[in-house]
């Protein structure tokens, strides 16, 4: 694998391509949810581009998009390779109930702070059983270093705390 480029920025529901927004709604209906998109309070999009070296024909690149949408009850995580869900057979959406979600936080130790300075985090680890899932798992949600990321992380932790209260 070659170079990996991550870019993250805040989004709103209106920033979702219409066909993908409908895909999210349809996946929600399949899991017994009313349309979750009107309740979204925060959103974060991470674009990942991976450059691969090929022995013949030159380099190639793969593009992946992860959108995280936060509502007062859910974390919605959508993965895709294109803006059109109908042409992306790998597109998937997971819905996580906030009261069941665990968000990894820093320990605050000097050792952890040193490690963060040496190697910036490239993910938000969350542990959950997604709706319709059979087992609890930890998901590494990719992120870049950006002020929008910290705002989203803070909103996610506050929403998880509020859902458990």
Beta bridge partners of 78: 67, 93
Check: CB of residue 104 under 8 Å from CB of residue 6.
Answer: no
Q: What is the CATH number of the domain that holds 14?
A: 2.30.29
User: How many CA atoms does the CB half-sphere of 76 hold within 13 Å?
Assistant: 32
Residue 129 structural domain:
4-164
Number of independent structural domains in the chain: 1
Residue 149 backbone phi and psi in degrees, to 5: -65, -45
pLDDT at 145 over 60: yes
pLDDT digits (tens, 9 = 90+) for 43-92: 999 988 777 766 666 667 777 889 999 999 999 999 888 655 566 777 88
Is the pLDDT at 1 greater than 60, yes or no?
A: no
pLDDT at 116 over 90: no
């Amino acid at each position: 694998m070659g170079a990996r480029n991550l870019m993250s920025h805040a989004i709103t529901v209106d920033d979702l391509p219409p066909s993908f927004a409908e895909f999210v709604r349809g996946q929600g209906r399949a899991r017994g949810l009313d349309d979750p998109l009107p309740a979204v309070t925060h959103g974060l999009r991470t674009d990942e581009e991976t450059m691969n070296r090929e022995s013949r024909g030159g380099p190639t690149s793969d593009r992946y998009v992860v959108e995280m949408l936060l509502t007062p009850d859910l974390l919605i995580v959508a993965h895709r390779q294109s803006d059109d869900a109908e042409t992306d057979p790998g597109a998937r959406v997971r819905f996580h109930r906030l009261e069941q979600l665990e968000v990894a936080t820093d320990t605050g130790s000097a050792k952890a702070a040193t490690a963060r300075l040496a190697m910036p985090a490239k993910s938000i680890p969350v542990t959950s059983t997604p709706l319709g899932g059979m087992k609890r798992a930890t998901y590494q949600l990719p992120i870049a270093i950006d002020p929008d990321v910290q705002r989203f992380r803070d909103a996610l932790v506050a929403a998880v705390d509020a859902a458990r209260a």
